[in-house]
Every structure is written in C-alpha cells, then in structure tokens.
A and B are shown apart, each in its own frame.
Chain A
Amino acid sequence: MEWANQLCENRQFGSKMTDSKYFTTTKKGEIFELKAELNSDKKEKKKEAVKKVIASMTVGKDVSALFPDVVNCMQTDNLELKKLVYLYLMNYAKSQPDMAIMAVNTFVKDCEDANPLIRALAVRTMGCIRVDKITEYLCEPLRKCLKDEDPYVRKTAAVCVAKLHDINAQLVEDQGFLDTLKDLISDSNPMVVANAVAALSEIAESHPNSNLLDLNPQSINKLLTALNECTEWGQIFILDCLANYTPRDDRESQSICERVTPRLSHANSAVVLSAVKVLMKFMEMLPKDLDYYSTLLKKLAPPLVTLLSAEPELQYVALRNINLIVQKRPEILKHEMKVFFVKYNDPIYVKLEKLDIMIRLASQANIAQVLAELKEYATEVDVDFVRKAVRAIGRCAIKVEQSAERCVSTLLDLIQTKVNYVVQEAIVVIKDIFRKYPNKYESVIATLCENLDSLDEPEARAAMIWIVGEYAERIDNADELLESFLEGFHDESTQVQLQLLTAIVKLFLKKPTETQELVQQVLSLATQDSDNPDLRDRGYIYWRLLSTDPVAAKEVVLAEKPLISEETDLIEPTLLEELICHIGTLASVYHKPPSAFVEGSRGVMHKRLPARTGSGESTESPDVGTAAGGSAPEAAPSIIPSQGDLLGDLLNLDMAPPTTSGPPPPTTGMQMGGMDLLGGGLDSLMGDESEPPHVPPRTDTPRSPSPQPPSPVYTHTDYTYTDYSHTDSPPDHSPTEHSPPAELGGDIGGSPAMGAGFGAAPAVMPASLNAPVGGGLGDLFDLGGVGMPMGAYIPPKIVWLPAMKAKGLEISGTFARRAGVIQMELILTNKAMSVMTDFAIQFNRNSFGLAPAGPLQVLTPLGPNQTIEVSLPLSTVGPVMKMDPLNNLQVAVKNNIDVFYFSCQYPISMLFVEDGKMERQVFLATWKDIPNDNESQFQIKDCHLNSDAASSKLQGSNIFTIAKRTVEGQDMLYMSIKLSNGIWVLAELRVQAGNPNYTISLKCRAPEVSQCVFQCYEAVLKN
C-alpha cells in the first residue's frame, strides 16, 4: 500500500507538480488569452486553459465571459477534461441560462454512453444545473437512468430525483419519478437503496403530510437488510430514516432494536449516534419490566463513552448529544463520571461541555471527586471555563445537600483570591445557595460585603443587592449599602434596577423607621424617571401594595420563597423529547428545534417520541418522568413547576385578601389568555431575577397558605417553542426580556385615574401618612403599629456590676440578637481616678455553651469618668454546664487593676435561631410525639395585642407562627422555636378577642426550658 502511494505520488510529480501556477496568473488581458487557448486545436493546451479557468473561478474571479468557449470543449472523450467543463457549467449555468442550453445535447448524448461512469456523470451534472429550461430535457434521460442496468448509474439517478425536486417539485410528481424512487427501495444493490432512502427522506421533509416514505413492516425489513450491506454513509441514511418510523407495538420495536444494536460497534461515530437515536426512540415503547430493556440500557453506555475518544470536533457533537441523553435517561451514564473529567489539552468547547455533563451526573456518591475536580478547574486560564467551574460548584451545593457546606467553603476560598470574575461568579452562585438553604450560611455575608466595590457585572451586582435586601435585618448598614447603589440608578442595567427596587422595599418593610426616605426615592426613580415598563410596573405594584395594605405587602414581599429546583437549566421536556428524535443532527448540537434555524418548510414538523404501548404504561416509574407522555408536569412538591399557582394568588390579591383556596381553575380560553399575559408580566414584575421560564421562577411571591400541594394551572407543555426561543441561549441566569404591552402597567395600576394618582403620589405621600387611613400607609410608619416586624426583643440595659464592688469599674449591659449573631452589649464606665486598660472577659460554663466569639474590644485606655460602649459577639460552642436558673451566666472581667466577677441572666429569646420555622406536617407530628407530661401551661395577663400583631411581634424574636386556627372567636396560634442547641419548642397561643389574658401551652422535649421561654413570651409581648 505504502509503495503504491509512493508510486502514485511519483507519477504526479511528473505531470502535476505545476498545477499551482494556475493560481498565480493575474496578467491583464488574461481573459482574452484564455479565450484563444480554449479554442486551440491542441488537446493539451485546451485542458491547460480550462484548468486556468477553474482556478480563476475558485479564487473568485468572474470568468463567465468564457462560457461559450468552455462549453465548446465539452465534447471530448477525455474524461478529466469533461469533468472540468462540467464543473464550470455547474457554476455559471444559472447566470447564463440561454447559453446553458447549448450543453444539453451533449448531456443527453452522454446519458446514452456505453461507459456507465460517463452516463452517471452526465445525469449527476445535469441535476446540478439549476436552470428551468434544462430540467425539461432532463426528464427522459433521468427516467432511463433510474432503470439503468448498472447500479452505479441507478444510485446516481436516485439522488438526481432529489435535485430535480428541489428545482421543480411539480415536475417530479407529474413525471412519476417518486414512484420509481420508491421502487428503488427494493433494489438489489444496497447503495441504490441507501441513496433512494436519502432522496425520499429529503423530499418527504418538504411534504410533511404525504405518505411518501410509507414505512411499513415490509419496507422496514428491507431497510434493515440493506443496513448490513451498504457503506457507512448509507447506513446513516437508513438509520436516520428508520428513526422516523413508529413501530406498531413493543414486539416490533424490540425486534428492530435487536437488529440495530450491532451498529453501535461501527467505527463511524455518525453511524453510532444514529443508531443511538433509533434505540433511544424505540426504547420508549418497550415495557420497563422487560429484561431486554435493561440489557439495552447497558449496551448504550460503552459506545457513548467511546465517542469521547474521537477527534475533538466529533467529541463536541457527542457531548452535546450526551447532554440530552443524560437528561432523558440519567441511568445510562450514571457510573461514567470519570470519563467526563476535563483534560488539560481539551479544546475549550469540549471542556465546557464536559463540565455541564459532570454537574448533571453529580450525585452524593461521586460528589467528593467532582468537587476536587471543579476546584482544580477554577484555577485554569480560560475565563469562561473558570466562570463555569465556579458556577458548577454552586450548582453542586444546590444539587447535593451533603456537599453544600464544602461547596460554600470552597467558594469562600475562591473569593479570597480576589480575581475579579471569580468573585463575581461566586457571589452569583452563593445567592442561589442562600435560596436553597435559607438561614444556614449567612455568616459569609460579611465576606461578600467586603467585595462590594469590585462588582462591575450586572448579574453579580443584582445578586449582591438581593442578598442585602433579603438579609437586611442582619446587616447593620444595609440602608447605606443600598443607598450607595441608588446613586447611579439610571446607569444600572434593568436587572440591577429591578433588584434594587425590590431590595429597598424589603429593607423598608424590615426597618421602616430609618428607610422611609430611601423607599420613596427608589419608588419615584422607578415609576417616574424610568422608561422601562417592567420597572415602572413593579414600582407601581409595590407602591400600591404599600399604600393600601401593608400587611399584604409584607406577606407578598417578605413571603417565604419557594425552594429553587435542584436541577437547573434542564431542557424543557417537550423540547427535550423533540431533540432526542434529532440525535446526531445540528438540532442536537444547538439544542434548538430545527424550526429555529432552518428556513422554509423543512424541519417544521415536530418530531415526537412514540408512546409506550401495552402493559408498560401503568408500570412507568417516576424517575423517567412524564416526558414520554408529554403531558402532566413533574410536580415534585418542593419545586414550583410553573407560574400557575403563583398567579392565582396574585390575582386574588387584587380582588380580596389572600384566601386559603387554591388558584381558580381557568374555565375559558379567554381567561387563560388573560392570565398568561399577566403571568408573563408578573413574572418580571414580581421576580427577583429575570430568568428563562424553564427554570422555576425565583419570585417573591406568596405561597398559598393552603396545605395541599400546589396545583399548577399551566403545565410545561403549554409552552410553545416560539415563546421561548431564548431557552437555548446560555441557559441559566440570562436575563429574559419580558416586554408586556405598554398598557399593562395601566391595567395593573387600576383605572387611568389611579395611574394619575400615582403620578402625583410623592407629593401627596407625606400628607397621607398622617391621614388615619385604616390599614394604610400611616400604620406602616407607626412603629408600634399593627403588623410590623419588630427587631428581636432587647431588654433594657441594667447594671450588672456596680462600681463599688469593682474598684470603680461599673458595667451595665444587655443581650441582643442581631443578624443571627448573639451580642452582649456592655457599657463600661470608669468611676475611679486612674486610667483602666487591658480589658478582658471570660464566661463560666453555662447551660447553652455561651462563650465570647472574640476578645473584648476596648482598644483605648478608659480614662476617669469616661464611658465606653462595647458589643461582644457570642458563640454557642463553649463548654456546657446546667445552671440554675437556666439562663444564668457567670462572667469574669479583668483589667489592669483586678479581676471582677458578676452574674447576669440573659433572655432565652436570643438563643432562638432564624431557621426555627417548622414544616407544618413536622409540627403536627412532633406535637403528637412529645408526651403530654412535657406540656406546661402559662397565663399572660394584660396583653392588648390582637393575634396577628402578636404573631408578627413574636416573629421578630424568631418565634414563628406556623398556623392559625379560629375556633369560636378564639384564635389559636401554633408556633415553633428552635434553640441554638437544636432544642425545639412548640407553642400554642390562645387569644380571645376582648380578653387581655392569653393562654399559652408549651411543649418541649426538654421541659426545663419552658419557664424561660414563657418569660420571653411575656417580655416580648408586653414590650
């Protein structure tokens, strides 16, 4: 073989070495010279001239003027020259249709040539000359060639039918070529069959309703036979065609699968992928309990892995497809994580795809390995890749709960690198982690705030603002932080503006006194100075909410957020299903349906997976989801599947106070439409993020208080592709542009008069503040007002250590819980004559392990008659010893003079943690579970709050109301408390309207704490 090559090359050296010279002629008068040469008598010279012409054509010179001269060279017995002339013809015939006719006679004559190669060449070239006049002459030769005795001519003619159809579809039908083509499917030669299948498939695509391919068990059988015998390309045509067939039942489906599986060992990756496509599709029909089904699943993994050792371009195609397959059938590749580890030398497109699949395959079993890899990747060079790796760490945290802690600490390490884009990316994902695990990792907020100034990307800024707004009550200078963003409000991107608006409203609802001005400022910026309808509408909604019903406002804005889904950026199921039918093709590479990038009638037809038949239907297991049926959405209880249920509540808001009933079911098409419109608008109005709709919306929407699982109005299948063509743009976090019609703002705001009212509002607002509008804005600003959140209860400072006892040092203080941190707030006064320095503090062991989290920060010496206020953060990880009373704390304070001891009592409420809200079901179970002996009852006297006010007041101290029941005028509030050491306390508070005495029952596994808890209730409610 080698020598054969050599020989061939040597021969070329003799005659061909000089071909490149044709590329270099750029002389003037070249065309004229060529003309002369083309008309030369010498064959060699003619050939040389034609070569020059082709070379000029290739580099883009216009040599169409030579048309007649070149065509004159056509009649030759030199096949090479003939081919060159044909090449020229194909290029220029369309621009010179009249001249092209000159060539027809030669073509027709060639179609009768004794040499099958020439016959085929003629019919092949003729099909490529796209001139109407020529097509007429093509029909007869084509008809003959379709029935030629030589298979080479037949296979060429088969493709020619597709060419002719592309030029003149009607002609092909009229001439009956389609039937002849169908007959060729039964041809004895496998290559003829393959080309006929290819041609028919293409023609069928532009006639979606015709039954051209007419696939039936008999023809399928023929195709499967030809499959074993034809070339690799032919196998692809046949497999792609088979994929369009829908077997009648599972038995037929299985027998086709059995005959297709051997193709998985083909060296050609395209054959393998097309076979995978057929198998993935037909598997849908197999009953799950069948042995063959699991055998097939096992057979699919190795070839897919093998595709990854192909050349990088093919790897890319394979990875894009594997991404789909993993979403559809995760079980196939779940043990193959390692093969997707990124290699240092992989091209960037391969790296990015592998990363995507790694996250999809991440599970508890392999998370340690995955995290180690991701950490490695986060130090690479390519910015996009690093970003994606950082993001992937966050996605792992969300997906695998056990790994969350390690992920967060990894992210913090990365933030410490101070590499700008790493920091920004980390902040974006930490926001998502906060969403998934509220009240768990807030300790990192301080670190995040340090990096505030370096954030220059909208997404990171928006994420940071969200965090500040969400945890405003724990960030002391939240108002300053947000105000700093507000300065350049109009220069921010919409995403940031929307976020800022929401965050400030949240802040206002949490700390109304200090932020009144800020909220007015942002509302007026959003509603008056902005041209963005989304922003204006959201501004108006907040404004109206705040001014009409602040309690509702709180419920809406500060409502518990629905959990975010574990799997982010999954492809929407119907689209996924369609893409599975397009495995191996461009659609699967772009992750878009063909209609998104193919023009004309081709590819408009949506492909569907076949439905399962027979017994399989009932046994369908949940892990495969419902994509097969393509109907009901996957309604995992923790995930908000669509906007449907949110919508119901929001609509209710406008009409009546939130009710416990589910969303109103849409009854008429009209109503559906209306809601859809609102839905889109509301998504962006209320949304924290703008994001593609296939990701469950992370919106500040109230969760229906009804205990039944959300019953979505919309199912995934209601989405049409055209609506969400952007789902394919970089999947997560990309801002969507919902542009509700301009009138929507008016509609939501109410009547036009209302709108006008808003316009004037800033001026009116102060006035309305004083106006005693029931439940209006006035109440909002009234600190003692109803329904306002209070900070945690802080007892007044008392003197703990009188000066007399401590050589002139007086210590008074109290305890507080701020932003989840327990603080001991001390006032040190020097009543002696000398300066005091070297302060230190220590606690004795105590019941809840309280210990100073840092040294006592008294940096400057305390002069005589000077006072200093210090706050000392406390942790609850110190040594534990039961004290009596339980909340007693023995403290030692040291200074340069002596050591002093005192004891004090702390309110147990500061040990109530923020995530003390129990799930309703858990509450019920726990309540029943705790023995009645552990229940203790107390009376709280002379309390004049109504039940709602009491509940919100208590919430400020992390006593969470879980449910409320009204029985015969008596409100029963059920509450839960979690102590820092994990003890749960459950409470039932009974409030009788008009009776100032409350009854409270406490249930706890450690009944000792009840007394202290009761004291807290009393203290909180009475202050």
Chain B
Amino acid sequence: MIGGLFIYNHKGEVLISRVYRDDIGKGPFPNCFHKVGSTESYRMRNAVDAFRVNVIHARQQVRSPVTNIARTSFFHVKRSNIWLAAVTKQNVNAAMVFEFLYKMCDVMTAYFGKISEENIKNNFVLIYELLDEILDFGYPQNSETGALKTFITQTGIKSQSKEEQSQITSQVTGQIGWRREGIKYRRNELFLDVLESVNLLMSPQGQVLSAHVSGRVVMKSYLSGMPECKFGMNDKIVIDKQGKGGATEEQSIAIDDCTFHQCVRLSKFDAERSISFIPPDGECELMRYRTTKDIILPFRVIPLVREVGRTKLEVKVVIKSNFKPSLLAQKIEVRIPTPLNTSGVQVICMKGKAKYKASENAIVWKIKRMAGMKESQISAEIELLPTNDKKKWARPPISMNFEVPFAPSGLKVRYLKVFEPKLNYSDHDVIKWVRYIGRSGIYETRC
C-alpha cells in the first residue's frame, strides 16, 4: 500500500510530507547525497529528495506518471504548479493510488478552494489531519467530503454529545457514508445538469475519424431526510423494453457505457437497468456516460491550407453550425495553428474577432454567439521566414471550442422521482430543474 505522501511546490520544496511506512526510506537513491543522518527522519528525506531530483528537476519532459527509482515507485499528479506524489515499495493497486490522489485533490479543494502553494501552507495542519483520516497505514479510508466535514473541522471539535459522536462514526463507516441523517430544507429542490463534451477528430476531407460524447449528469439536491431517488433517461435498452406496448415517440439513444457515483445501486442497475440511489446532500456527479452513435456534431470545420512558395501560406477556414436555427451557440473559438517561423499574419473574418497570437503559434478566432444552420469564414495570409530546417511543419490540427444549449448525444432526462417515506413531502412537492449544456471536448479537424 501507499508508503508515503508528499506535496511539493514547483521548485521541489516539500510542503507536506506524511510517511505511513518505514520501508520507503531505504534507498540507496542515486543522485541523492543527503547527509546520512542517523535519525529515521533523515532517511525519509532520501525518498523525498529522490523524487525531487529525478522527476521535478529532471531535464527531460516527464515520460511516465509512475517512476521507479531504486526499487521505490513514485506516483505523481500535478495540479497547477503543485506536485502530489505517493510513494511505495510494494506492488500496490496503481489505479487505486491515482484515484486516491485525485480524491485527495477533490477533498482539499472542497475544504480550502484552489490547490496552490499559499493555500497548502495556510492549511497544512488541516491537510495533515485529513491525511491521517483518509489514509491509514496507506489504505484509503472514507474520503467523502460530506462525511469528513462532520468531524474534521477548522474550529476544533467541541465536546460533542455521545449521540452526536456515534452518529458521526456510523456515518463514516456506514452503508450510506455520503449522507448524514436529519437534513432539513424548507424548500425541497433539485437541479440536474446534463453536461456533455463532444469529441471529434476529422480528416481534412471531412471524414469523421473518431467521434464520441462523454457526458456527466451532475445533480445538486437540497432535499430533506433520506430521499430515495429514481432517475430515468431515454436509454435505448430501457425504452425498447417498455416501448413494445406503448407508442413512445421519444428518440432513444444507445449508451456505450456508463459509470455511477457510489450512491447508485449497481446491482440493481445491472439487473433492471434502473438507476436508484440516495443522493449525497449538495452537489454530486451522479453518472458518467459515453456514446459514439448518432452524435449531433454541432460544428463542421472546413480547412483549406495552401503553401504559396516557401515563404507564404494561405489559410481559409469555414465553420458551419449544424443545429436548430432557434438555438444559439456561445463562446466559439477556433484555433488555427501557424508554423514556428511565422513572421506576419493578415486575417480577414466575416464575423467575430480574430487575432494572431505569436506566443501560442496560432490564429485565434472568437465568435460570441452563432445561431444554428449558419456559416462563417475566415481567411488568413501567413508570411514565413525562410528557414533551412529540413523538417516539414507538422501541421497540428485546427481545434475548436464552443458551448451549445443541447446534448449532442441526444440524451434526455425522462424523470427523476423522489420518495421520502418518513417525511411528509411527495414527489410533486419537489422543485426540479433540468439543464443541458454541450461543450467541445477535443474537437479537431486535421488540415
């Protein structure tokens, strides 16, 4: 299991170091000529330094998120300029270690916001406390923020009543570790966001090389008690099962795969394909899914790149919006890469604003709003400095960003029913909101 967890700043200085197992201190690590202290803590420093020297300060780009130095394995993730590293000497479950590191980031964000050097230094006592709680001997323990916040607080624990204490422990260890009892709201309300990111890789000729939608259903619930919820969508398998008798005109979609928040009863989904759960209070990501069939591609990019001699490039890009004319896409941004030896760029666009950004080696074309079934065009002349570089310019793909008010996968929420048998509010009393947002993931067209 995890032998230790370190947090570094971008310079490689240690901000947090928590050692769970002694074995990780045993080097000998190359390139670490730390004065060999007799004390245990000095030995630990070796592992800490080994990571700094071999990964953070490494000359080359990081080639793997898992590094093995002197039979010690280092897992790392980076958040802005903070490095989180987990260290082990054993054959641990690697997927679990990374999941844990992400979870650790989530927990820290939930407690003190952005993960930055300043925030970490400001909250180092809290972080140690969290690390003590969510990792025991390197084994991850309950790490749901909802539960943690009941007993790891910033104010110090006041003397709790015995009942309160046992309520905490039963929640932390219990079956429904993500929700505490006795939550009360005057107004029972829930918000569902269907957030999709549509990914596309298109050939210059307009052939779809790969396209998929990865979507998330995020639920914000402000419900009293322990509500039992049931969620339904236009899943093809479910619709086909029911649709035999009734004449459901609804379009159904084929979901390739989906994963659920741990509150969802997976065995019930496996057996009946029904999604039932008791939600955590507040926000949670109920479900993630992926579809590849019948995707609505909101935009089509048609590139035309022509090399005029050795010192000039002509680029013309047309974008076409492909959805109902009544809907509006927002935050549209087209990024047209330019060669490294670009000396000057002239851009003409019909709509929006376009600018050549030398530091990013790209022409960035921004359009605030665009209705469906419209098209717009940009043309640019790129002047190049003559080079003797033999290698041809690699022509990175043209990428796009946008936001549309529908789900490109075609997913529709059919219902979300709430039952709370103990309290006297019914499904009809709950105010429900649904919103669909489709964003671009990696939306690229080769040119």
Contact = CB atoms under 8 A, between A and B. Distances in A.
A86 B88 CA distance: 23
A857 to B, nearest CB: 31
A376 B446 contact: yes
A306 B267 contact: no
B262 A268 contact: yes
A373 to B, nearest CB: 8
A586 B124 contact: no
B290 interface: yes
B84 to A, nearest CB: 11
A603 B91 contact: yes
B112 A265 contact: no
Interface in B63-92: 63-66, 68, 71, 73, 75-77, 88-92
A343 B442 contact: yes
Given A12-B112, A150-B166, A602-B90, A83 B128 contact: yes
A18 B212 CA distance: 47
A117 interface: yes
Contacts of B126: 16
B94 A317 contact: yes
Interface string B209-220: 110101000001
Contacts of A20: 118, 121-122
A265 B258 contact: yes
Interface residues of B: mostly helix, strand, loop or mixed? mixed
B73 A344 contact: no
Interface residues of A, number: 132
A313 B75 contact: yes
Interface string B13-25: 1111101111100
A339 B269 contact: no
B95 A348 contact: no
A156 B136 contact: yes
Given A159-B139, A302-B257, A314-B95, A418 B390 contact: yes
Contact of A341 (B136, B157, B201, B266): B201
Contacts of B102: 311, 314
B40 A95 contact: yes
Contacts of A4: 282
B108 to A, nearest CB: 12
A202 B1 contact: yes
Contact of A599 (B71, B168, B396): B71
Contacts of B111: 8
Given A190-B175, A316-B65, A598-B90, A267 B285 contact: yes
Contacts, number: 328
Contacts of A202: 1
Given A266-B260, A343-B201, A586-B73, A92 B94 contact: no
Interface string A537-555: 0000000000000000000
Contacts of A23: 121, 124
A190 B168 CA distance: 16
B90 A152 contact: no
Contacts of A513: none
A127 B144 CA distance: 24
A195 B256 CA distance: 34
A584 interface: yes
Interface string A684-715: 00000000000000000000000000000000
Most A Cβ at <10 Å: residue of B15, B39, B259: B259
Interface string B412-423: 000000000000
B288 interface: yes
Contact of B290 (A22, A231, A306): A306
A269 B99 contact: yes
A130 interface: yes
B41 A92 contact: yes
A317 B95 contact: yes
Contacts of B432: none
A417 interface: yes
Contacts of B241: none
B59 interface: no
Interface in B202-233: 209-210, 212, 214, 220
29 contacts: A2-B282, A17-B122, A19-B123, A20-B122, A58-B15, A60-B45, A91-B40, A94-B22, A95-B38, A116-B166, A117-B168, A150-B169, A152-B169, A191-B141, A191-B174, A233-B139, A233-B143, A265-B259, A265-B260, A309-B288, A311-B77, A343-B444, A344-B396, A349-B63, A349-B65, A369-B209, A587-B91, A598-B89, A598-B91
Interface of A: 1-2, 4-5, 8-9, 11-12, 15-20, 22-23, 51, 54-55, 57-60, 62, 64, 77-80, 83-84, 86-87, 90-92, 94-95, 114-117, 120, 124, 127-128, 130, 150-153, 155-156, 159-160, 162-163, 166, 189-192, 195, 198, 202, 228-233, 236-237, 240, 259, 261-263, 265-270, 272-274, 302-303, 305-306, 309, 311-314, 316-318, 338-339, 341, 343-345, 347-349, 369, 373, 376, 379-381, 384, 417-419, 582, 584-590, 594, 597-599, 602-603
Q: Which 4 A-B pairs have the closest CB atoms?
A: A1-B282, A302-B257, A152-B169, A20-B121
Given A19-B121, A20-B121, A598-B71, 10 more contacts: A16-B122, A18-B122, A59-B13, A84-B128, A117-B151, A150-B166, A155-B173, A313-B76, A347-B62, A585-B91
Interface of B: 1, 13-17, 19-23, 37-42, 45, 48, 61-66, 68, 71, 73, 75-77, 88-96, 98-102, 110-113, 118, 121-126, 128-129, 132, 136-137, 139-144, 149, 151, 154-157, 159-160, 162, 165-166, 168-170, 172-175, 177, 201, 209-210, 212, 214, 220, 256-262, 265-267, 269-270, 281-283, 285, 288, 290, 390-392, 394-397, 399, 442, 444, 446
